[in-house]
Amino acid sequence: GIQVEQSPPDLILQEGANSTLRCNFSDSVNNLQWFHQNPWGQLINLFYIPSGTKQNGRLSATTVATERYSLLYISSSQTTDSGVYFCAVGGKLIFGQGTELSVKP
Amino acid sequence: DAGVIQSPRHEVTEMGQEVTLRCKPISGHNSLFWYRQTMMRGLELLIYFNNNVPIDDSGMPEDRFSAKMPNASFSTLKIQPSEPRDSAVYFCASSLGDELYGYTFGSGTRLTVV
């Protein structure tokens, strides 16, 4: 089956800093999504991005399907950005292990 | 739109008891998914339905688990009998289908089996 690897596993930032999260996947896919799981456990869909680049406020994502990776950019981080960021791929949504982000005030 | 609605939010039950988790997908979505999240295994797909028909149940851990989708607006995940190792957060998600759309997750049911 498809393997999904995310890096880094943990990230601590000072408020206002920028960060890049990476997702590598082992096979071509028609579906790639980024999710944020907040400290209350809710899974929020950030981007549906099987290819190309999208932006939503301070967040943007780029997927290079031919090279099997996706990047999530967080600019001017805020404490509310804390939580776990998941990449998931494929029709059955195979999840990576996530990147746990902590933004300090 | 109220989103994907799951109930109950929390469930505590004794080992051996039957547990039923419920999910109402977003109206118009034709794909429904059940996931389980644990610290050890992360988020794993248990089963998914397309147009109320189970398509892939290879993730269902064992015969104690069963899922149904009697109509487009309701699905259940049943565990009978429950065991402590079933303790986890169970998520339901829905989508317009065909891998071409984003998936929306419910708030999850936190199950504790004591």
* Closest CA in chain A for residue B36: A95
**Does residue B89 sit in helix, strand or coil?**
strand
Residue-level pLDDT at B1: 66
For residue A6, which amino acid is it? Q
Residues forming beta bridges with residue B95, ordered by sequence position = B31
Closest CA to B82 of B55, B109, B42, B54: B109
Mutation target vs B (from A46, A93, A95; most B CBs, 10 A cutoff): A93
| Helix, strand, coil percentages, rounded to 5, for chain A | 5, 55, 35
Give the strand pairing for B42-50 and B19-24: unpaired
> Is B111 within 8 Å of B22 (Cβ atoms)?
no
pLDDT, tens digit (0-9, with 9 covering 90-100), for B6-43: 999 999 999 999 999 999 999 999 999 999 999 988 99
pLDDT, tens digit (0-9, with 9 covering 90-100), for B51-82: 999 999 999 988 999 999 999 999 999 999 99
Residue A24's contacts (CB-CB under 8 Å, 6 or more residues apart) are A4, A5, A6, A7, A68, A69
* Closest CA in chain B for residue A47: B102
Residue-level pLDDT at A46: 95
Q: How many residue pairs from chains A and B have C-beta atoms closer than 8 A?
A: 47
Residue-level pLDDT at A93: 87
Residue-level pLDDT at B100: 65
Cβ-defined contact of A86 to B43 (cutoff 8 Å): yes
pLDDT, tens digit (0-9, with 9 covering 90-100), for B85-96: 999 999 999 998
Give the strand pairing for A59-64 and B65-71: unpaired
* Closest CA in chain A for residue B32: A92
Cβ-defined contact of B99 to A31 (cutoff 8 Å): yes
pLDDT tens-digit profile, chain A (105 residues): 889 999 999 999 999 999 999 999 999 988 999 999 998 999 999 999 999 999 999 999 999 999 999 999 999 999 999 999 999 998 888 999 999 999 999
Angle at CA of residue B65, ends B90 and B15, nearest 5°: 80
Position B101 pLDDT exceeds 80: no
Residue-level pLDDT at B114: 97
